[in-house]
A and B are shown apart, each in its own frame.
Chain A
Amino acid sequence: MKKDKTGYRNVSENPCNMCMPLGGILALKGIEGSMVLLHGSQGCATYMRRTISEHYNEPIDVASTSLNEKGTVFGGEDNFKKGLDNIRLVYQPEIIGVLTTCLAETIGEDIERMAKEYIKDREIEGFPIISAPTPGYAGTQAEGYFSTLRKIIMGLAKETKKNKKINVIVPHISTADLREIKRILASMDIEAILLPDYSDTLDAPYTKTYERIVSGGTKVQDIASMSGSQATIEMAEAIDDVISPGAFLKQEYGVPLYRIPLPVGLKNTDIFINTLKQITGSVIPLDLSAERGRLLDGMIDSHKHNFQGIAAIFGEPEHVLSAVTLCMENGIFPQVIATGSKTHRLEDLLYESLAESEQDYHIMNDTDFSHIREKCKNSGVNIAIGHSEGKYLTEKEGIPLVRYGFPIHDRIGGQRLLSVGYTGSLSFLDRITNTLLDHKYINYRSTMLQKYYDTRS
């Protein structure tokens, strides 16, 4: 095995990640009636809105406090208050999330205090304003996403009566994945609080009238009651306890925490279903067993094709871990495993599954595409799995890309690709297999000709 810690370096070449507040925005978009204010300079908000709307094809309204020179020198409290006033006026949200950018953090803005004072000042006691510091220099969108979720729970959860519900906390997955998880829960008759739930807000059906704040999302009162649930399932293995929403519920309210991988692939989906069964005692419905059987059947059908695959897998840690598992189960060798996040857990978590591998592989964290490309060059990697920026590997090294994760901005429908559960895993696996086949058949005749006919040259 080979490790490759890219880590702190003087220059990043072609980043594999984005920054914290973007993840915070996504988390907040999954809360019912929410609106987001980014405290900092205007540009960051505009960039993030563009990035998110390219992926989701939905209007992404995010306000900025548009700090100028004066605000930067003397503090941005006036802008902060005005920003809140204006979004309440135009959007009438039920909850506001305030995030910071690098600029606000660098000049030392205390948004928590400012939010409190604003509430007092405007006499809106009880109006929820969630403040989550998310300086871009401190982490990627993945960390921003989870730490904001944690802040949301910290801000809303109250001491409640114990009940039979379970909390399900998900990483940033597709809207189809969210709907699939809800379907599985419903099929097992489990009442759950899904956090966040942007399956409607970021994938809204076309309707005759337009809503500035789209209906849907996890309800504020449901989040408030997460403290009383019988358990939390958190589909996040790579995150630190300090930003884990589930860890907070456990510490503060004693809600048992089950940290499981994203249910992509056979093994991971089994873990999900068995955990549900273990917690609630629900029966596994026949339909679900049939879906599992169909996945097995499909895995057998494509196993020889898949055995030809050597993959480079990159993106947010949870996406990477899940794709690695799916690949390993199907004989696709994950030779290059990379994330832009700073996490040592990737190695620990993969150690066991990769321990027996005879081939060399590379696990890289806190890395960029220039390093990923180095490792892919002349290495036999014939498939890349990850977000759209991986098109760089296609362009430079001719490696075809299966789009998975965020952002997917150069194809339609990336926001509703199904990859979780037995059914989703099969559809994800099919996408991978077919990409391998495409690539093989396109080059088949010319490769054969070159290899066996033109041997003299």
Chain B
Amino acid sequence: MITVFTARRVHTMDLSLPEATAVAVLDGRIIEVGSLDSLQPWLSRHDHVVDDGFADAVILPGLIDPHVHPGLIALLLACEWVTPEAWDLPGRHVPATVGREAFVARLYELEAFHPAGEPLVVYGWHAQFHGELFRDDLDAISTDRPIVLWQRSFHELRCNTPALAWLEAEEGAEWDPHIDLEAGRMWESGMGFGLRILNPHLIGGEHLGQRLEEMIRMVHGGGVTTIGDPGYAMADLDHYLDALLSVHEGANVPFRQYLIPAIFRYRLEFGADHAEKLAQHEALATDRIRFLHAAKFFADGAFIAQLMQVGPPGYIDGHEGAWMANPDRIADHIRPSWEQGRRIDIHVNGDMGLDAALDAIDMLLHEIPRFDHRTVIHHFGLSTQAQSRRMAALGVSVQANGYFLNLFGDAFVDRWLGAERASQITRVGSARRNGISVALHSDLPMGPLLPMKAASNMSTRLTLSGEILGLEERLSPYDAIAAVTIEAAWQLRLDHEIGSLAAGKQADLVVLDGDPFELDPTAWPDIPIRATVLGGEVYPCD
């Protein structure tokens, strides 16, 4: 039976036939995009129903977020959230909290309502937005209950006295230099010491599955029908995939999920058997969860934590970034995957990190030329015009974090890079001008899983303070929507299946109560999402 979805307008995101008013679906796939009139050759010969429930709404291809970490968000969903930006989490709205006073007031409130005896773990504190908070400050809130603040960039915990005892910090401080008992700080590997206790508390046993279950609603609420997870699982790949396959598979899950292995994780966990183990995992693919013939690699450190490798003139305060792999040997890491014909995804934040990644791809292209290799630079914090043109020449595309500029642009102007270079954060406009594919991601939990918000951010280039940073690096409205639909699909090598609406493709749709091409991009995050459609099945949003 054919189902015809009618709409006020359908944006196909295929410039060959950009607009329509009806989408006809059979067995999960689109048979024609057009109008009730144009569909007559089909409808006059086959059984059909017309679903006009969306007749006053606007249909776009289902949104795609190609870089999302369900494993990490599962961990954080087990925490209370007090964040500098607003979040819609399953079953709770988290308002933006800025300023020390507001943050502390919120902590008092959470403490008062938290079940007696249970540790209070709060995610989202960031000194830049909330001021400094040390052990004494947290002890003022409670000296009975452990209170742990988990920093917004994941690199640090701040603890009160009971929390230090709970996380065995006193013993840890003997062994790890990154624990400061007096200040209540546990950072980097010192945080790792605390996580041995914190992690099982948050997602041990059944908890992981429960949190992954909650995460389904986050994906759906963002109008997303496909996610990618490069470098899935933080630890214990078998346990993670077990939980994932049992929770994110099935008719109640309104999205497709594509996993991209980080080869180093497999090397570390399985040693000599890593290739065999990866092949075993890849054989576990189901309807909703697939493995891409791709592999993820790393260049330099994190953007939010100011650990990206910045070339001259460097950071204003003179500190240096970190390497996550030897910049001289990235090609050696990638080479076996390159030879296997895998698509390559590289985590890159700073301009020096980008040089290292591009040198590697340049070398590999000379060794073993590949057409249509679709190597993707992920995050794309800081870069130059020269690098953008080099990327175009090498056939390397951009998958930018859609939130770096909005959330952290102001701080990078004031503290880390100055105005000129901060305006070049995620310089997607020039990438498009150079003919490079541009997609956007959240890197959830780094940014919220709201592709319309990410697209808005990159189309307006507004920061939290309301400044416009790097106006010439904005995306056109069309390119911004393409970055969360067809360009994201292209980068995953799935553009023949998803990302635009055309006969033969998967019937994955998002239904909006407003037309983004009639509205200013600043209004996009507020367009209500009425439903998503996956393979022709309607999943209403509440």
- The answer to whether A and B come from one shared complex is no
